[in-house]
């Protein structure tokens, strides 16, 4: 894991829901509760190693049917498992299996 980024939680996109674990708080958002997801660049990481790996910090906005919304700042790639799949890949897959309006903004 990068010294400039500290993991404070886990965000998991599954076939049925978004699992969010931040500290001791565990939350599950079913997709039928969500209207829209928006992903956009937040800022480019400052370390040379992360620049070479093209890792970016992203802002994920979750818009719920009850009119509330949540914003999470996440890494574009897994920080500790060195997985090759990015959050963009995951959202593109999610577009195919759900009816959620998913928008990916590129800066």
Say which residues have a Cβ less than 8 Å from residue 74's Cβ, sequence separation at least 6. Answer: 11, 57, 58, 59, 60, 87
Which contacts (CB < 8 Å, 24+ apart) does range 59-62 have? 60/11, 60/87, 61/36, 61/37, 62/18, 62/29, 62/34, 62/36, 62/37
C-alpha 3 chain-centroid distance? 20
Which pLDDT value is given to residue 29? Answer: 96
Domain count along the chain: 1
Domain residues for the domain of 72 are: 9-105
Res 56: pLDDT: 72
CATH, residue 62? 2.30.29.30
In a domain, 3, yes or no: no
pLDDT tens-digit profile of 53-95?
A: 555 788 999 999 999 999 998 887 765 556 677 888 889 999 9
pTM for the whole structure? 0.80
Residue found by looking up tokens 């990481």 in the block:
45
């Amino acid at each position: 894991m990068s010294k400039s980024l500290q993991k404070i939680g886990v965000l998991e996109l599954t076939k049925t829901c978004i699992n969010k674990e931040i500290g001791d708080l565990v939350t599950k958002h079913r997709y039928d509760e969500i209207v829209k997801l928006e992903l956009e660049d937040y800022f480019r990481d400052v370390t040379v190693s992360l620049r070479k790996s093209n890792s970016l910090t992203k802002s994920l906005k979750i818009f719920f049917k009850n009119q509330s919304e949540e914003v999470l700042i996440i890494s574009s790639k897994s920080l500790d498992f060195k997985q090759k799949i990015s959050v963009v890949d995951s959202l593109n897959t999610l577009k195919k299996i759900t009816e959620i309006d998913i928008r990916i903004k590129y800066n």
